[in-house]
Structure 1
């Protein structure tokens, strides 16, 4: 199994992202933890808009666990990271953890995500 999430993020495919997620999906971002299909799909859509050129570098698979090493562009900086994914028996994403570096670029990306969330709040916050 390879990552179904990374190509959808790269393509900014919001409907595909929502369709990939389990109802009770959990997402552990660099800032907070989120749960539920609507909120996580919304966050993934915002992330895909903030980070550009999300590209897989390497992938490690162990049954339903997929760990994808990624690179992305944010503004004039580059980010490297790890996207750890767990898929359920129906090949839906049940849990994901995103780790990113370097810290300076990550701080700027977090600030832009905060702006994006203020402009388009999570469904659970509306």
Structure 2
């Protein structure tokens, strides 16, 4: 199993994944679903600015579906997470789901994402 495309992008500081996401991709965050490549790519890119020190700690699955465990930091507090990546036969990501814990750090991350989306709104209407 390969490394997570999402976690690799976040580690690089550019989580947009525009070249990896299918046109009809969906990103399911802990708060909302973002439909379509432009919106999913945009939100995934913003998350790269909220999570620091992303480190993949586990991986399960195959070439069509992978589940990846990771740790990161949000404002100097550790967060643990899971990213689930579903792929089409072509290899493009069709659905990405993010789970984060603990709740207190998740709330901080949600606040930082709200601010990021206020400064950089979604590119496409949902």
Q: TM-score range by the shorter chain?
A: over 0.9
Matched, 1:112 2:117: no
- Aligned equivalents of 1:98 and 1:32: distance in 2? 10
Unpaired runs of at least 5, structure 1: none
Residues 28-62 of structure 1, C-alpha deviation per residue, up to 9 Å, x if partnerless?
10000111111111101100011111110000013
What corresponds to 1:27 in structure 2? Answer: 27
What corresponds to 1:40 in structure 2? Answer: 40
What corresponds to 1:6 in structure 2? Answer: 7
- Aligned equivalents of 2:106 and 2:15: distance in 1? 23
Give the secondary-structure state (helix, strand or coil) at the position aligned to 1:123: coil
What corresponds to 1:74 in structure 2? Answer: 74
Shift of 1:124: 1.4
Query: How large is the RMSD of aligned CA atoms in angstroms?
Result: 1.2
Shift of 1:13: 2.7
Give the secondary-structure state (helix, strand or coil) at the position aligned to 1:124: coil
- Aligned equivalents of 2:48 and 2:70: distance in 1? 13
Aligned residues: 124
Could you tell me the TM-score, scaled by structure 1's length?
A: 0.93
